[in-house]
Amino acid sequence: MSILNQMERDFLNIPQVKTALNLTDIRRGQRNVDNAQKRKFEHSMALSVHVVNAYAWFNSDEGKLAFDEQGLSWTTEDFSKKVFGWGKSYFHKVRRCGSLDPRVIAAFNRKCDEAGDQAMRTIANLDKFGRDIDLSELPEDATEEQVTEAIEQAVEETDVETRTEQVDTISTFTMKVDGASNVSWRLDANGGQHTTNSRAEILSAIATMQNLIGAADSNHQL
């Protein structure tokens, strides 16, 4: 969503201003850039699966034997450059992204959607996002439900980088309702509202929360 206030939105909607600024062409160009960036990211993620598998083979006994039989000795840097044409740093970013839990990747994409045209939907940004999610406190025998809950909690506390300077968050609201889509809304210090939900979905979630608070209050749980 835009961070423009109502006066600014009205100004940019004046026909003469829209024409002078070529806003229609600008918006079309921005959509094309965003779509291209998203497609590039999707292709990179598809490739990341092959990177993970190739690197596993490279380090396996079978892979080492194949190299030895040909009298070759490659470092990881050699492998990344000669097979993929990448530097070692970027290679490991792609590899780590390919190993991420699908729920983390889905959360990253959702947060990029919330950020709109300012989102940096890139391998480097996903890699940072994934490394910022700390699940080290989970016990080794954690159940799938515990892992999912921990990921969801960590995701809510982790932001994606955008093209603009970081703007402080003033308020967030998140609710998961059985049988309905997750609702997430964020207000930043510039008055910008960030969400992928409709106004009706947000108001419905708020009403549900108010009902829950009312029920808890009547039962002296608050």
Do the domain assignments include residue 91? no
Contact 194, 114 (CB under 8 A): yes
What pLDDT is recorded for position 2?
A: 45
Do the domain assignments include residue 181? yes
Contact 73, 65 (CB under 8 A): no
pLDDT digit string, tens, across residues 117-160: 777 888 998 998 888 876 666 667 777 787 777 777 777 767 77
Taking every pair of Cα atoms in the chain, the longest distance, rounded to a whole number of angstroms, is: 77
| Domain interval for residue 220 | 167-222
Give the N- to C-terminal CA distance of the chain in Å, as an integer.
Answer: 34
What pLDDT is recorded for position 97?
A: 94
Query: 216-220: long-range contacts (C-beta < 8 A, 24 or more apart)?
Result: none
Do the domain assignments include residue 100? no
Do the domain assignments include residue 13? no
What pLDDT is recorded for position 221?
A: 59
DSSP 166: P
What pLDDT is recorded for position 61?
A: 92
Do the domain assignments include residue 208? yes
Do the domain assignments include residue 219? yes
Read off the tokens for 217.
């209050």
**How would you label 63-87 residue by residue, b for 16+ Cβ within 10 Å and e otherwise?**
beeeeeeeeeeeeeeebbeeebebe
Do the domain assignments include residue 25? no
Per run of 10 residues, the mean pLDDT along the chain (length 222 residues) is 61 75 68 72 88 91 88 87 86 92 87 79 88 71 76 72 66 73 75 76 83 69 58
Do the domain assignments include residue 111? no
DSSP 162: B
What pLDDT is recorded for position 197?
A: 76
What pLDDT is recorded for position 110?
A: 85
Residue 165, sorted as left (phi over 0), alpha (psi -120 to 50) or beta, turns out to be beta
Number of domains within the chain? 1
